[in-house]
Amino acid sequence: MRINKYIALASDLSRRGADAAIEQGRVLVNGQLPDAGQSIVSSDTVTLDKRALTPAVKTTIMFNKPVSYVCSRNGQGSQTIFDLLSPDYWHLQTVGRLDKYSSGLLLLTNDGDLANELTHPSREKQKVYQVVLKEPLQPLHRQMIQDHGILLDDGASKFELSRRKDGDDRDWQVTMHEGRNRQIRRTFQSLGYEVLSLHRTSFGAYTLGDLKTGELTIL
C-alpha cells in the first residue's frame, strides 16, 4: 500500500495532506524519513508526529435516509443524518448525497477506492429513484427528457422514465447514470412540475430492499 494511502486510512489527513506531512518530515517509517511514493508492508512501523499509525478497518454502511435530514455534518440549523447514526459511524463519508427533502438509499464509507468507483463519472453507476409529481407528466415532456434531455445551467439532463402504476402519470421510476446536484428536481421544475417526493432505491450493485426508514445495514 502506498504510504499516502496508508496515512489517510489511519488519520484524519487526506492523501494530499499525507503527502504534505511527508514533505514536512512529520512521517517516519521504521524510524527513517520515507520516500513520497514508498510502499508500506505489514511489518513496517509508521509514525505521524511521533504517533504510531494503524489503518482503520474499512467500513461501509447502507442507510435508509428519512426526509428532512441533510447529509452534511454541519446542518446549519437542520437535523443531519449523523444525529441518527451511532458515533461509531461518524467518521464515515457519504458517497454522493441526497438533498434534505429526498429519502432512501445512502452509502457511507471510509473506503476511498469504493467511493471513487461509485462516484467517478467514467464508471456510470446506475441509480434508481421513485418520483411522485404533483401534476401528471405530459407525454411530450417525457419524450423530451428521454430522447434529448432538458438543458439545465450545468448541461443537458437525460434519464429513463417508467410508470410505477398503470395509468398514473404522476408516479414514476427514474433510472439514470449521473448524479448532479438536485438534477431530477431541477429537470422537472424546469418543465413546470413540482416534485412531491423523491426516494432512491438503488445505487450501482446496492439495493435498498426491505431496509426501513432510519435503519442501516453494514455491507
What is the rounded CA–CA span in Å between residue 202 and residue 219?
Answer: 14
Q: 60-119+210-218, which class in CATH?
A: alpha beta
The confidence score (pLDDT) of residue 12 equals 80
Q: Do domains 3-52 and 60-119+210-218 have the same CATH topology?
A: no
Pick the catalytic residue: 12, 35, 88, 99? Answer: 99
State the angle between helix axes of 15-23 and 3-10 in degrees (0 to 180), rounded to the nearest 10: 110
The confidence score (pLDDT) of residue 113 equals 81
The confidence score (pLDDT) of residue 124 equals 87
Tell me the domain boundaries of the chain.
3-52, 60-119+210-218, 126-203
Q: What is the pLDDT along the chain (219 residues), one digit of tens a residue?
A: 899 988 988 888 888 999 999 999 999 999 999 998 899 988 899 999 999 998 778 899 999 999 999 998 887 888 999 999 999 898 898 998 999 999 999 999 988 888 889 988 888 899 999 999 999 999 999 999 999 999 999 999 999 999 999 989 999 999 999 888 999 999 999 999 999 999 999 999 999 999 999 999 999
12 is catalytic: no
CATH of domain 126-203: 3.30.70.1560
The confidence score (pLDDT) of residue 36 equals 87
Fold of 3-52: 3.10.290
The confidence score (pLDDT) of residue 126 equals 96
86, three cell numbers: 451511532
Burial of 204 (0-12, 13-18, 19+ CB in 10 A): middle
